[in-house]
Chains A and B, each alone.
Chain A
Amino acid sequence: MDTNAIELKGVTKRFGNVIANDHVDLTLKKGEILSILGENGSGKTTLMNMLSGIYFPDEGQIMVNGESVTIRNPMDSFELGIGMIHQHFKLINILTAAENIILGQIGQGRRDMKKVNKEVKDLIDRYGFELSPTEKIYNMSVSQKQTVEIIKVLYRGADILILDEPTAVLTPQEIEKLFDVLRRMKKAGKSIIIITHKLNEVLEISDRVAVLRKGSCIGTVETSQTNAQQLTEMMVGEKVHLDIKRTDPVGCEKRIDVRGVSVRDSEGLFILKDVSFEANSGEILGIAGISGSGQKELLESIAGLQNIDSGEILYYPPGDAPVEKLSEKSVQEIQNLKISLSFVPEDRLGMGLVASMDLTDNMMIRSYRSGKSKFFTDRKSPKKLAEKIVDKLEVKTPGVETPVSKLSGGNVQKILVGREIATNPNVLMVAYPVRGLDINSSYTIYNLLADQKSKGVAVMCVGEDLDVLLQLCDRIMVLCEGSVTGIVNAKESSKEELGMLMTGGRKVERSV
């Protein structure tokens, strides 16, 4: 019995009438790396939160090292040797790595930082991390912060590590380093669960894969005996065709010309530094970069939502209309030029959609100023538009009177992108359009963008998934710390090249 680090039997968790986990059976063997694969909303994180004591299961049994346990809070979980590394870091910026690591632990008498630093250093050396214990968090890169989180749970003596989407924020090179560390930890006898939805990573790192779909565990397979296609089918529940119709760009005309644009934040630091590029009609321009490299500010500058310090943004309307200087126009005027921006923020709502409002009211966000009366709102045409989008994009909703917050992520994003497309834009900017979407919905959105391109729209797309950007876009511009480090032809580029450009074309600087 001692071979299983964790065994879940019939674990069920409900939130209201939503079943997040439905009688999940799962085993984690000692000294293995188990991937939990599933689309967003399939219950991966909920399941792991029950192991780390954040949620309490409604039904079922959890066994750790062969003994039945009740995990009521995170402290119980710690005592059982379970350590979870969350997707969002929980670190204090002004403290050092070592100080963050001992935070919340009961020590004896005087705090001896020298001793702690040495212990942390030992851990770092043992597993081959690259980190200095005395480095302050605010000086660290995202991957170094993640390293601190991992060492934190190791320092507390965790034998079972759960990593929630650890690769989402990393560059391809950093992911490789993380995987090396995980392999070393496995050798040292740790049992590891890694939650992800990226298939290639699953195949690369794990010994076994457990697939969750709609809260149920579909099955566990040996990684060596499976492939991407089979895993996708398990995850989605049906055969899927994963390709994007990419046509060659035709009739390219210059639409947007960004010339030497710089943006500074309130502290005077550059967010965008001398950015210049062109976006053409009938083409998808991808924008890649580590998150927070200025992608958001760039799109917002074009949409008139961001004040720029220097440079200019020009718009060349179709036909013979005169060139417009966007950098001198208001948000409203830019929207009237049929330049549309849909930004999907991390929480999906809050920029472009209002959660508590129904579909009709959300359509009105773009169009409420129109209508016969100057004072009263016209809800008839937005309602028609909402019905049209629901119908055309197969949005699953009880009706157009349903608040957006009651819909699933995929449907929310269909509505957002659908509304922007309905304005018949000449320039369509989308940021993270498939954030958190399941595979099928993602490809619906990609193909919507491809359609717009073939209609002659200039599409700009900020994305996270480099594989997809390479498939979808014609050209890809890479941003690093607010500067353009390269604009490449998507057909001739590779993930590795993009990864290099994302980190400024040089090796990531690290302090060891």
Chain B
Amino acid sequence: MSKIARSNKKVIHMVKRSGISPLKAWGIRLIAAVLGLIVAAFVIVGITGVNPLKVYEGIIGGAVGSPRRIWVTVRETVVLLLIAVGLMPAFKMRFWNLGAEGQILAGGIACSALMIYGKSIPAPLLLFLIIVCSALGGMIWGFLPGLFKAIFNTNESLFTLMLNYVAMQLVTFFIVFWENPSGSNSVGIINPSGKEGWFPALFGSDYGLNILIVLIVTVVMTLYMKITKHGYEIAVVGESQNTARYAGINVGKVIIRTMLVSSAVCGLAGAVIVSGASHTISTSTAGGRGFTAIVVAWMANLNPAGMLLVAAFLVFMQQGSIQIASQYGLNENASDIITGILIFFLIGCEFFIRYHLKVVNTEDDKS
């Protein structure tokens, strides 16, 4: 035996906590948030030389500094929440739907088409058609990967991801027809004068209907997952396809059905964005929100209440970044850096909630 003299060394070990009080857990999260802000402050000073407190102030001002800004923050939050809620059933089924971007665009195309060609339809009926057709548009984009997964067991991550690019090209294709003014290579604001197909103001706000739709869909989807037979089947399939087979569940059918539901909600998000906010369509209509929503859904562990919090946090930082970009001449990415640092600390601290580190001094083991 050669090298046994391994004494006099400290060994660090992770030890699983046997349980932690909620107070202590939230304390750890709070410490993590504070540490994150401090580290971010050093980064800001180091890179830009701007007083970090001023930057933080700017972020808060940008997100909730005026009633209009608050409304924009709320509008963006609910859209992100809606997409995350749409992804929830697919993720619960362990179906990696990375295609929310494409599903949003597909819904957005259906919505724009109705706004452009359906001006003569009575407003309430048009609104109804927009909601139904955008959901249907999303469903087409979700049906294909679901079908192939169910029949051929194709990889859904790649399939849904690639369909995003198809949807983007489709938008480019339609822009050629819908160009306004011609030569601008963009659709421009659709129906700026008559506002046909625009979401009407509700509760004294332009975005009242957006909030109402998202609220209804979130509640319905939460109940769908919790108390329906479909929701139960989704949970069983997600946990174990073998168990699902043993229970006599038709796994393929559940996969297709769930993808239809998931993508319908994402398609509806397309209508909420186009009819409810931007009133135009471009390849950046989804703007990466289909991916951000994945973060929202998983950081909240697929819990809708948590998703609302995470969505609000991310949008808050995003809106704040626009403000600090103009106020301090910083790049908009400055806020992404701050967001990144904060998320790093917040996710990282979960480790310390589950484990604690223990230093074992092996010096005691005398040779």
Contact = CB atoms under 8 A, between A and B. Distances in A.
- Asked if A and B bind, the verdict is yes
A312 B239 CA distance: 33
Nearest to B240: A350
A76 B239 contact: no
Contacts of B4: 64, 67, 69, 79-80
Contact of A365 (B17, B18, B247, B366): B247
Interface string A48-61: 00000000101001
Given A305-B246, A343-B246, A365-B243, A17 B18 contact: yes
Interface residues on A, range: 35 or more
Interface in A1-35: 14-17
Most buried by B among A17, A65, A68: A68
Contact of A79 (B3, B16, B248): B3
A351 interface: yes
B365 A14 contact: no
Interface stretch (B108-116, B133-141, B176-184, B225-233): B225-233
Contacts of A65: 1
B229 A377 contact: yes
B360 A332 contact: no
Contact of B6 (A56, A69, A368): A69
B235 A354 contact: yes
Contact of A356 (B15, B16, B231, B239): B239
A396 B316 CA distance: 48
B16 A377 contact: no
B366 A56 contact: no
Nearest to A367: B247
Interface string A113-144: 00000000000000000000000000000000
Given A15-B16, A16-B18, A79 B1 contact: yes
Contacts of A67: 1, 4, 367
A81 B247 CA distance: 49
B235 A357 contact: yes
Given A72-B11, A81-B1, A305-B246, A354 B240 contact: yes
Contact of A349 (B16, B19, B230, B240): B240
B68 interface: no
Contacts of B366: 68
A117 B9 CA distance: 40
B54 interface: no
B239 A355 contact: yes
A364 to B, nearest CB: 6
Contacts of B245: 305, 331
Nearest to B14: A56
Contacts of B365: 61, 68-70
A14 B19 CA distance: 13
A262 to B, nearest CB: 21
Contacts of B231: 377
Contacts of A354: 235-236, 239-240, 243
Contact of A56 (B18, B228, B247, B360): B360
A16 B235 CA distance: 27
Interface of B: 1-4, 6-7, 9, 11, 13, 15-19, 227-233, 235-236, 239-240, 242-243, 245-248, 358, 360, 362, 365-367
29 contacts: A56-B11, A58-B13, A61-B365, A65-B1, A69-B6, A69-B365, A70-B11, A70-B365, A79-B2, A79-B4, A303-B246, A331-B246, A351-B240, A351-B243, A353-B243, A354-B239, A354-B240, A355-B239, A355-B240, A357-B239, A368-B229, A368-B232, A368-B233, A369-B229, A375-B228, A375-B229, A375-B230, A377-B231, A377-B232
Closest 8 CB pairs of A and B: A17-B18, A331-B248, A16-B16, A332-B248, A354-B239, A365-B247, A68-B365, A16-B18
Interface of A: 14-17, 56, 58, 61, 64-65, 67-70, 72, 76, 79-81, 303, 305, 330-332, 335, 341, 343, 345, 349-357, 361, 364-366, 368-369, 374-377
Given A72-B6, A361-B232, A377-B229, 20 more contacts: A16-B17, A58-B13, A58-B360, A64-B4, A65-B1, A67-B367, A68-B7, A79-B1, A303-B246, A332-B248, A350-B240, A351-B242, A351-B246, A354-B239, A365-B247, A366-B247, A368-B229, A368-B247, A375-B228, A376-B229
